[in-house]
Structure 1
Amino acid sequence: MSIRLLVVEDDPEIRSVLHSSLAAEGFDVRTAVSVSEAAAILHHALPDVVVLDLGLPDGDGLDLVRQIRKAHALPVLVVSARHQEAEKIKLLDAGADDYLTKPFSVGELLARIRVALRHRGTALDPAATVHELDGLKVDLRSRLVTVAGEPVHLTPTEFKLLARLVRSAGRVVTHRQLLADVWGAEYTDHTHYLRLYMGQLRAKIEADPAEPRHLLTETGVGYRLAVA
């Protein structure tokens, strides 16, 4: 089972980079853009790690750190442009496990996540970032997709959708999960996006898009990437 990670960040560009980079490492990533949305996710689907920006549109991340610490022991890593020592001390005293000052590298964030998880007694298995079946190969690290050895060009959205299915290969991913993870939480009712992009993906990687071998429909539920 992959590590569930919640990224709370209102900047769309940073949020997208963190989502794609962390997901490529094998994390099951969800995102929130506000304190209230993060609190709702924490209530209904508790993650294993929280990566939290401070300056959110409906409050300060410090309040969310305190809320989390009242009920949970999960690691909280703060990322912020605020660099004052007093600010860092305040966050750490409130219960944050670590504090990264923007800008930071994704590699450093990953290292800090691994340390925080080790302190909780959780060891990370190597991320499954390559999927191969019947001539289809998807390499998430290199962002390379080939069919019968020939490279396939995917748009950024097509690749994000396929990558999300690769990270849950063999398991059904619901329509709402795919829409939230690929397009954002505000798009969970836009199922026509999925139909459109799934059709485009099948046209590019399936020998017979009408009888898909790889991208399988679970009627009324979602989609599944075949593993056998």
Structure 2
Amino acid sequence: MKVKTSILVISDHLPMQERISHTLSQIDYKVYVATNGVEGMQIFKANNPDIIFLDLRQDDFDGIAWIQTVREISQLPILVLSDHEAPHDKVLALDAGTDDYLTIPFSMEELLARTRVAKRHLSSYDIKDHTLLINGNLRIDTTSQTVHLLNQEIKVTPNEYKLLVCLCQNMDRVLTYNTLTKAVWGYGYDNVETLRVFMASIRKKLEQVDRDHKYIQTHIGVGYRMLKS
């Protein structure tokens, strides 16, 4: 019998929580729900879900610390739900290790599309050429799927890792927004703003370790290029 993909939805906004859980259940996902971070962590540890949807708007809840705690023990896809008015929260969440975000309000069609992408990520650590990609002080090990800069490991999310590999495999070439989004999220995904947030997060992580070198160049209106060091 086929095992259902399990999803944990954490939100204290009950109408949205119920709408999400109902939609996912209709598609035959197994859904767990929690109304706060403590309950969510208990369900996570007890049931080991495949994907997590986390609402960052909850009162008296440090969602960033929650994500960091999960990342210490698991690399499962985490998608955050956040307001238009809270772009800083999105950046902090990406830095903490989340994979993607949905901006509230969002349609159930978008929710399902993002869920399908997250589901692919469960088995998408599939860069087949096990090799070491090197650009100056930057080293990407595609066997262990780790990133090191100046011999220091850089903690990156699965999507950030894929973007870095794609850029490094195409050194000194300008890759369009469309090329990069397809490489990470697949065909039919064209959210350039999401790509920009991920690229800003990658840049920040690299610059925190090596301020003397610029690794990624923006080509406004076109895409990004990995500069050869």
Give the TM-score normalised by structure 2.
0.51
User: Please, which runs of 5 or more residues in structure 2 have no aligned partner?
Assistant: 125-229
Whether the 8 Å CA contact 2:7–2:31 is kept in 1: the answer is yes
Confirm or deny that 1:32 pairs with 2:34. yes
The equivalent residue for 2:21 is: 19
The equivalent residue for 2:120 is: 118
| Residue type at the aligned position of 1:111 | A
Identity of paired residues, percent?
A: 37
| Residue type at the aligned position of 1:9 | S
RMSD over aligned Cα, in angstroms?
Answer: 1.4
Helix, strand or coil for the counterpart of 1:21? helix
Helix, strand or coil for the counterpart of 1:56? coil
| Residue type at the aligned position of 1:118 | R
After superposition, give the CA deviation of every residue in 1:76-128 in whole Å (9 maximum; x if it has no partner): 00012254433211111111100111000111011111112212316xxxxxx
Distance 1:106 1:75 in 2: 18
Helix, strand or coil for the counterpart of 2:49? coil
Distance 2:78 2:85 in 1: 18
Whether the 8 Å CA contact 1:35–1:58 is kept in 2: the answer is no
| Residue type at the aligned position of 2:5 | I
The equivalent residue for 2:94 is: 92
The equivalent residue for 2:54 is: 52
Distance 1:19 1:119 in 2: 21
Give the TM-score normalised by structure 1.
0.51
> In structure 2, which of residues 59, 75, 78 is the aligned counterpart of residue 76 of structure 1?
78
After superposition, give the CA deviation of every residue in 1:106-159 in whole Å (9 maximum; x if it has no partner): 11011111112212316xxxxxxxxxxxxxxxxxxxxxxxxxxxxxxxxxxxxx
Distance 1:94 1:118 in 2: 21
Distance 1:39 1:62 in 2: 13
Distance 2:96 2:79 in 1: 12
Q: What is the number of residues matched between the two proteins?
A: 122
Whether the 8 Å CA contact 1:7–1:19 is kept in 2: the answer is yes
Confirm or deny that 1:67 pairs with 2:69. yes
After superposition, give the CA deviation of every residue in 1:162-220 in whole Å (9 maximum; x if it has no partner): xxxxxxxxxxxxxxxxxxxxxxxxxxxxxxxxxxxxxxxxxxxxxxxxxxxxxxxxxxx
Go from structure 1 to structure 2 and tell me whether the alpha carbon gap of 1:117 and 1:83 turns closer, same or farther (over 3 Å shift). farther
Confirm or deny that 1:6 pairs with 2:15. no
User: Please, which runs of 5 or more residues in structure 1 have no aligned partner?
Assistant: 123-228
Q: Post-superposition shift, 1:58?
A: 3.9
Distance 1:30 1:82 in 2: 26
The equivalent residue for 1:220 is: none
The equivalent residue for 1:215 is: none
The equivalent residue for 1:105 is: 107
Whether the 8 Å CA contact 2:82–2:90 is kept in 1: the answer is no
Higher CA-based Rg: 1
